[in-house]
Amino acid sequence: MSIYKTIFWFNSLGLLLIIVLIFSTKLFEVSAGGLFSPPPSPEYPSAGLLTHTFQLLCCVAPLVCAFSFALLKKIKPGGKNNKFILFSGLLTAGFLINEIYRLHIIALQFGIPKLLTIFIYATIALVYGLAFKSQLKSTPYIIIVASLILLFIAITIDSLHLSGSGAPSLLEGVPKLLSGLNMALYFWVVCYKEVLNSLQQ
């Protein structure tokens, strides 16, 4: 399949998705124009700066994993770590989608408790960890462990619903941002080493 055919099909799929979403707004009796509403403007220049930085950091892992997997499929099609890179990309893409679209907040509107959503995500992460236990052990896994611990701290602080204006946001935001940074660094290092090893072999 040529690159132009691939681009055509991606555009067609994108257009189809837009049409489906427009029609779905009729089911919920909301404005279709709201699909393209811009995000709220910040009240001041630094408002949400580190939150957006965290979201950008969350983009690193799925993009790096996807690009590395595409390279590895060409360099070493039967590579034993190809699936690990692929599923790492899918897992981190799921986390990114949740963070951008706030799926756990949307779930609340359908009566699904936030703790249940977190439990489902934690179960998926545990299954991933058990499935790729040997691959994870061969990597500098202490970085991803640190990332998960920091994320758990941020989630715990958020669930406490601490009172105050600035302190609770900082207590949650700092470990969350560092969690995103370490996750991005971990998958960058892992993918870099895997591609490099495949090229050398």
pLDDT in tens, 159-181: 888 887 788 888 999 999 999 99
Contact indicator for 147, 183 with CB cutoff of 8 Å:
yes
Contact indicator for 136, 129 with CB cutoff of 8 Å:
yes
Strand segments (E) across the chain: none
Q: Whole-model pTM? A: 0.87
Q: What torsion do the CA atoms of 187, 54, 62, 179 make, to the nearest 10 degrees?
A: 40
154 Cβ neighbours under 8 A, 6+ residues apart: 172, 173, 175, 176, 179
Q: What is the tens place of the pLDDT at every residue in 117-142?
A: 888 999 999 999 999 999 999 999 99
- The one-letter code for the residue type at 74 is K
Rounded (5°) CA angle 86-179-48: 110
Ordered by start, the domain boundaries in the chain are: 1-35, 46-200
Q: What is the tens place of the pLDDT at every residue in 40-72?
A: 888 888 888 999 999 999 999 999 999 999 999
Structure tokens at 40: 């709220």
82 Cβ neighbours under 8 A, 6+ residues apart: 69, 72, 73, 76
